[in-house]
Amino acid sequence: MPDLVSTVAMPALQGGRILFTQDLSGCLGNAPGLDEASLAAAVSAVEDILAKLRQSLAAGNLAQLAGGDPATTPDAAPMAYARLAAGARTLVFLGTGDETLPAQMLAQFGGWSIPGVTALNGHLGPMTRFYDSLDPFTVGSALGRLDLARTRFIVISRSGRDAGTLAQAAAAIQAARNAGLAADLPNLFLGITDLSQPGTGREGGLAAMLSNLGIELLDHGAGLPGRFAVFHNAALVAAVARGADTARLLSGARALIDRFDEPGAGRDFPPLVGAVLAVELARRGVTGGQTLVTDADRLGRLPPWWHGLWRDMAGGLGASPSSGRIADLAARPHANVAAHYTTVVAVEPGAVGPSLASDLAASAGMPELAGRTLGTVAAGRRQAAIAALIRSGNPVRRVHIPALDEETMGALVMHTMLEAILAGWLSGTDPLAAELA
């Protein structure tokens, strides 16, 4: 019988530290007939999926999700970043739509777009900006105001043929030319696109445009669909730009894969249990879709990235629109909608942050807040929102993170990808078989 509360930890040789805990207890009783015994029976009935997972592991497919073979994967992203960032003041990522979403997720983990938060590990590097739209005012204004001689551009397009991203790149190249920097283009730009598929290499698209100008190209990510290429060049270069240790990110991702090799780990593999749970909830009437939310600013891009993994799922498994913020859960129990499955991801290091002075709490009419830290106030609001959802018949899974660091982020992202893949297999689809986009 799978544990309702399971942990993901680093290997014993690497300290055995708990990275996060998955708590499914808030999901039972909120779908007809779904209790601990029926969940265990559902998990036990997926031997074919377990076999497929073992085959994928043996074939090395899961290793590709985690960045490839650690013995042969070069440090392409850190090396390319070091070359590009020399002398730079600003690092600009170009790519429309979801092209840069995995990169944004890892960059925000490193403090990007959070006022007052510095990069990880004391990193001092160029300012980081992302432009993922074709808004002519935004792009034009940026190109007009940037010190282009001290700006570096990273252009991300998995297919290399997205018209929006090509237009962004062409506009930036022309702006550099107009500034008299035509000869410096190889030092100002880096392209990341899929070089492994026929028709997407240097013979056309972004790769041809950039290579004709002498601009360096990196492979996007082992032929994986873009949303699954988190631990490859397109996203890892953003992690490096925010000071993250990519070796530790990959170590956390591989720790989760290694968990499947532990004795008796098959039916207790946390991503498998999570996938079975999602499928069973949908089958038993929880048809309002799924949402993942968090109140951790450094995980702010996790919900939209997660939404991209699940949005095309069939059978009631699809993700529903959400802000991704825990604060917005309060209104949901009162909405006239079908039951909704919510995953709450919380970083819970304890009573941390500034504390509230007793006189200010008293004058605000909330003396009970006196002496409490922001961490305890946030935890109280989170628990109240979760309790309200459960009371109204909405299943809630809780993911508890003691400390958010590279290993934890790596394991959490890998768990999320594997769970989506396994849920797809269970519902008759293969999320990894997506066409180039």
**CA gap 3, 78 in Å, rounded:** 39
From first CA to last CA, the distance across the chain in angstroms is: 40
Q: Identify the CATH homologous superfamily for domain 5-61+250-431.
A: Glucose-6-phosphate isomerase like protein; domain 1 (3.40.50.10490)
**CA gap 168, 430 in Å, rounded:** 32
Q: Which amino acid is at 251?
A: S
pTM metric for this prediction: 0.93
Q: Which segments in the chain show pLDDT lower than 70? A: 1-2, 12-14, 69-74, 196-203, 222, 262-265, 312, 314-316, 321, 323, 329-338, 349-351, 434-437
Domain 76-245 in CATH 3.40.50.10490? The answer is yes
Amino acid 59: pLDDT = 77
Q: List, for residues 147-158, the tens digit of each pLDDT value.
A: 999 999 999 999
Q: List, for residues 276-335, the tens digit of each pLDDT value.
A: 999 999 888 887 788 999 999 999 999 999 998 887 676 557 777 676 777 776 555 545
For helices 233-241 and 76-85, the axis angle rounded to 10 degrees is: 50
Amino acid 200: pLDDT = 45
**CA gap 157, 192 in Å, rounded:** 6
Residue 58: CB atoms within 10 Å:
9
- CATH 3.40.50.10490 residue window(s) in the chain: 5-61+250-431, 76-245
Amino acid 67: pLDDT = 81
